Amino acid sequence: MGVSHGRSQISDLSFQVFNRAIHPDWFATRVHRRIPKDLWEADVRIIEGGHAVIFGAGPIRLAEVLSGPETLLPEPGVLFRSSIKSEGSTILHAGGMIEYQTCFEVERVDREVFQHLCEELQADASRDSLLYHFRSQNRFAPRPLSHVHIDSRKQGISIQSTHTFPEEFAVVRTLSLYERIAIS
């Protein structure tokens, strides 16, 4: 676990999915929410450099982590790993009980559009979301922020995350769906 003194660059980010839970001690957690349901449970965190989601149904666990180099993670259990330089997606089936789909992208915009996006994210904060403002290295630029919207359903959860990078006038977006598969 590490704590940085500023936001990582997008080129340093990594998006990883594990077939197991990752203990919270691995993260520098800024905001956390636990969502318990009858058929599944999830822990959603905004962490230094990004976010972490641990989803479980029965004995099966999946962990999604978007993080920078300040977050050192264990190697065992990695199902998917990708840098965040453009866009990507994957679909995974875990233990015959969980279907997982994700996609992510980087959007680079001009200064005015970036400022507007940051204002919209702050205004969009609701009880169904997590929002965290990170410390800025540039007092004239907007503070980096992470916004995670949570949409829970009977069979699973949808997570939409947006992370801003003021030094690069860029936004990283992810959309992930965790769904418990009906076992017949």
Which long-range contacts (C-beta less than 8 Å, at least 24 apart) are formed by 30-37? 30/132, 30/134, 30/146, 31/130, 31/131, 31/132, 32/130, 33/130, 33/150, 35/150, 35/152, 35/157, 37/152, 37/154
Domain boundaries, the chain: 11-180
What confidence score (pLDDT) does residue 183 get? 65
Predicted pLDDT at 3: 42
What pLDDT is stored for residue 184 in this prediction? 57
Mean pLDDT by 10 residues, the chain (184 residues): 59 94 91 94 94 95 93 89 89 91 95 88 84 80 89 94 92 96 70
